[in-house]
Amino acid sequence: MATSSILRRAFLYVPSSSPKFLQKTYNLTADTVCYDLEDSVAPAKKPEARDNLRKFLSDKRPPNITELCVRINDVSTGLALDDLSSVLKADHIDAIAVPKVGSASDMHFITDVIRHQLPDRHPSTPSADSNPVKIIALIETAEAIMNLKEICQASPYISGLVFAAEDFARDLSITRTPSLTEFLYARSAIVTAARAFNLPSTIDLVCTKFRGEEGMKTLEEECLQGKQMGFNGKQCIHPTQVETAQRVFAPGKEEVEYSVRILIADSKATASGRGAFTLDGKMIDAPVVGKARMVVKRAELCGFDVKAVEEEWKDQEPE
């Protein structure tokens, strides 16, 4: 995926109708917490949840959450404008998650509201202090899959795609199975579109099992599968899922070590005029080196001590 300073390895939903749950996020450590105004909030509770969230996000910022996101109601409900008008007044808001994005027009609506309400946080004029608002689009329908190109190009604020498997299954009248093979086309389409349009985040489906040893095993298996497909984050519905998601979607020790070795050997090969070489019996060329650079960059973002690995392998030579 695109190299970016944005990490969304865990994308944890928290219902905004519960002040208790909001307060609990002060004790969480996570890349992104997405405070929910949509599915987890009953219709009669939405105005109250909106007010709760605006007040909460105007108080002190949770210290160990990198990104504060809000999932609003989708454009077709008629509630999106009220949601945005309220939460965009808060002092601490980094991103808006937009559910049920079906076409570019949904993105245009959200973009126009953000541009009107927060003109100083538009990505066209970035600066050290501007912190542009980011839009994360939830892909939940067949229509959205067919319109991925237009959605990815619809807004300068767009920063990632999320695959909402349960709604997608309902839309297509398919049944989710443990293998997740029924979602292969949609998931592949999402990661491909995000890469094509240089979006930094692709966030995979929710793991509905989270209780006990079996639930955590299923979560880890799903994370590994998603990572293999090109996703770089996982939606979480319970705080206990966060550690696993952030560990799996960070580069592993062996992966970082191998990537560092590639880069050190490549610098020496380049200095001697060699365009390709072997390492551990495998051919290393430009695409492999490019991937190694991405791995090392992500490892640094995840807090990995890359300098120590570089020191350990400074004598690596190309074979």
166 marked as part of a ligand binding site? no
Which pLDDT belongs to residue 126?
53
71 marked as part of a ligand binding site? yes
Which pLDDT belongs to residue 130?
66
3-state secondary structure 145-164: HHCHHHHHCCCCCEEEEEEC
Which single residue is written with the structure tokens 């105004």? Answer: 37
Which pLDDT belongs to residue 291?
94
| Cβ(235)–Cβ(205) below 8 Å | yes
Average pLDDT over residues 292-302: 93
Active-site residue, 285 included: yes
Average pLDDT over residues 66-85: 96
Which pLDDT belongs to residue 1?
34
In sequence order, what are the residues at sequence separation of 6 or more whose Cβ sits closer than 8 angstroms to the Cβ of residue 19?
52, 56
Burial (Cβ within 10 Å: 0-12, 13-18, ≥19) of residue 308:
exposed
Which pLDDT belongs to residue 122?
77
Average pLDDT over residues 246-259: 95
How do strand 282-284 and strand 277-279 relate by DSSP bridges?
antiparallel
User: Is the confidence at residue 268, as pLDDT, over 80?
Assistant: yes
Under the banding of pLDDT at 50, 70 and 90, the label for residue 119 is confident
Alpha-carbon separation of residue 232 from 9, 25, 38, 214 (angstroms): 6, 23, 24, 23
In sequence order, what are the residues at sequence separation of 6 or more whose Cβ sits closer than 8 angstroms to the Cβ of residue 55?
none
Largest CA distance in the chain: 70
- Judged by DSSP in three states, 95 sits in strand
Tokens representing 146 are: 């067919």
- Judged by DSSP in three states, 38 sits in coil
Which pLDDT belongs to residue 127?
57
The pTM of this model reads 0.90
User: Is the confidence at residue 134, as pLDDT, over 50?
Assistant: yes
Which pLDDT belongs to residue 6?
85
Name the least confident of 73-77, 129-133, 277-281. 129-133
Average pLDDT over residues 235-247: 96
Under the banding of pLDDT at 50, 70 and 90, the label for residue 274 is confident
- Judged by DSSP in three states, 241 sits in helix
Give the rounded percent of residues in the chain with a pLDDT score beyond 90: 90
Give the rounded percent of residues in the chain with a pLDDT score beyond 70: 96
Which pLDDT belongs to residue 181?
97
User: Is the confidence at residue 124, as pLDDT, over 90?
Assistant: no
Alpha carbon distance 209, 25 (integer Å): 21
User: Is the confidence at residue 35, as pLDDT, over 50?
Assistant: yes
255 marked as part of a ligand binding site? no
Alpha-carbon separation of residue 26 from 62, 63, 89, 93, 190 (angstroms): 5, 7, 20, 15, 32
Q: What is the per-residue pLDDT across 168-213, written as a single tens digit (0 to 9) for each?
A: 999 999 999 999 999 999 999 999 999 999 999 999 999 998 888 9
User: Is the confidence at residue 63, as pLDDT, over 90?
Assistant: yes
Which pLDDT belongs to residue 123?
74
Which domains, and CATH codes, for the chain?
10-249 (3.20.20.60), 253-313 (no CATH)
Alpha carbon distance 81, 231 (integer Å): 30
The pLDDT mean for the chain works out to 93
Q: Which of 51, 112, 285, 305 is catalytic?
A: 285
Alpha carbon distance 152, 248 (integer Å): 26
